[in-house]
Amino acid sequence: MAWPELSIDDFPPRRDDEPSSLRQDIIDELSDHFVCALNRELLKNPDEQTAKQRVLNQFGDPIKIARQLWLDAMKEKIMSQRIMTGISAVMAVCCLAVVGFAWILVQDSRMVNQKMLEHVAVLADRPVASAESGTDQEILLELKRLNQLQATGAVAGQDELHQVSFQLVTDQNSQPATGFKGRLLQLVKGLDGFMVDVISDTQGKLDFGKLPAGAYALELKAPWGEMYQIRNLRTIPGRAFSKTIVCPAHQPELVSIGFQVDRSAEFESDKWLFLADFGVRQIIHKKEKIERFYSSERQIENETWLYAQQVNQGVYLIGKNGAFSPIPMTQAGKYPNLKPDFPLDQLTVKIPQGRYTLPVIYLVNRDDLSQLSIMNENYFDPVSSNMSHLVSGLSRYIPDGTMYGIEQTVFVSPLKILDKQPIEVSTGEILQYPVQHFVAAPGKNNIWTINLYDKKIARVKLSRDEIQDTQRFQ
């Protein structure tokens, strides 16, 4: 029998692209090689078994060698086939993805067309007016609105809606903030966005459900009325939106404050009083009326929370040596008429903790207190009446460090309210100072010192024309 013993069956399974004579060529060449090596060994040692063993020790198992030679010969073809298989698989996946995107676009187009047909059908069912041009105009307006909705992404399919939620925790031990009211308002340019109201659950979660991607404004309101706003939220298409917000653990604590007013020598007499109004009176032109707001603010994790208080509070009449008395404003926040001998019998008053802003302070003669209500219509208004920066649907609150847009403290000295209708003040009687803030902090000696006679820090002296342009509401 020929040695070594090799057969075609010792090779891997036959491949379609394998040359027909490859296996036999490998067997013949390997057999010749082993026979030559055996002959050389027989010249050294006539024992045939010993010679064969030496050849095997030198070259190894002939079957393994034959398989390796076959693999080396077929390696290029095998790798080429594998690469082609991989490319084919990738192309198949890409084709499926293209088909999927095309299907999504077709579904979106079908949904938009369906909504357009529904709106047109509604218009068609309406009673026909005597003038057909009016109905045609309504149809055109509806179609224009639908085109705007499609362009802005306001019409969203179920697959385009994504979860929007907030996790509310308190600033003490990060416990869940429960019972907070949340309002999420969609901001769509040129259109009326929708509004969603939710209350945080026992786990502090504020879940607004699935909503379309876009720009939103958020307002939070604590159970005791404290508010916080975010006006620049933007959700990303294809992603759920979640954000953690740190909230106050309890309502502001009541703390005591007192006043100290530095006055010049000419106004040292007991007949001169300071009227400090910590509220904001804004002119609402569209409503043709004046509204008053009174609030404080505090920082929670570097975010501003506003605590709106009753509009008939926050006005004090201050005399010498820090004696003062709160003015009993009407329920609508209007100035009442007071008796000239109105007593100033307090040195402290308790108010909620936080930072307060002083928009305006007046120097008033005691004899003028009996007609103080004139100021309800004729007064210097330190706040711009432009409300264009406010978002419809949210509270009148500006969380940018300038509460209600107050950028200066105005000092009117002296205020003459009896002989001028409307009030006319001369140049120099109104000074604008950098806005003055006062903090009511727990455990502190909260004496608020007001000094409005240092004219070196006065920012502006208004001319008569500027005063007339800014102070009137008629």
Dig out the tokens for 460 from the structure.
Answer: 């502006």
Please list, in sequence order, all residues whose beta carbon lies within 8 angstroms of the beta carbon of residue 38, skipping any fewer than 6 positions away.
3, 51, 52, 55
Q: How far is CA 380 from the centre of its chain?
A: 36
Tally the residues of the chain. Answer: 474
Select from 305, 286, 324 the least CA-distant residue to 220. Answer: 305
pLDDT digits (tens, 9 = 90+) for 243-284: 999 999 999 999 999 999 888 777 788 889 999 999 887 666
Amino acid at 336: P
pLDDT digits (tens, 9 = 90+) for 350-378: 999 999 988 888 888 898 899 888 877 65
Query: Can you give the pTM of this predicted structure?
Result: 0.60
Give first-to-last CA distance, the chain, whole Å.
Answer: 127
Average pLDDT over residues 321-342: 93
Yes or no: say if 276 and 315 are a contact pair by the CB < 8 Å rule: yes
- The pLDDT value recorded for residue 135 is 54
Q: Is the pLDDT of residue 181 over 90?
A: yes
Mean pLDDT of the chain: 77
Between helices 22-44 and 62-125, what is the axis angle to 10°? 150
- The pLDDT value recorded for residue 372 is 87
CA–CA dist 296, 351 (Å, integer): 10
Average pLDDT over residues 336-344: 94
- The pLDDT value recorded for residue 221 is 96
Q: Which residue has the higher pLDDT, 333 or 454?
A: 333
- The pLDDT value recorded for residue 149 is 52
Give the angle 327-333-337 at the CA atoms, nearest 5°: 50
Q: Which residue has the higher pLDDT, 426 or 315?
A: 315
Select from 173, 245, 226 the least CA-distant residue to 354. Answer: 226
pLDDT digits (tens, 9 = 90+) for 11-30: 777 777 777 777 778 777 87
Q: For 407, what's the count of Cα atoms within 13 Å in the CB-facing half-sphere? A: 6
- Tell me the CA distances in angstroms from 370 to 318, 335, 403, one per residue in order: 16, 11, 32
CB atoms within 10 A of CB 422: 13
- The pLDDT value recorded for residue 129 is 44
Pairing of strands 436-440, 446-451: unpaired
Q: Which residue has the higher pLDDT, 133 or 326?
A: 326
Q: Is the pLDDT of residue 207 over 80?
A: yes
pLDDT digits (tens, 9 = 90+) for 41-76: 777 777 777 777 877 777 778 888 877 887 788 777
CA–CA dist 69, 71 (Å, integer): 5
Between helices 48-59 and 22-44, what is the axis angle to 10°? 130
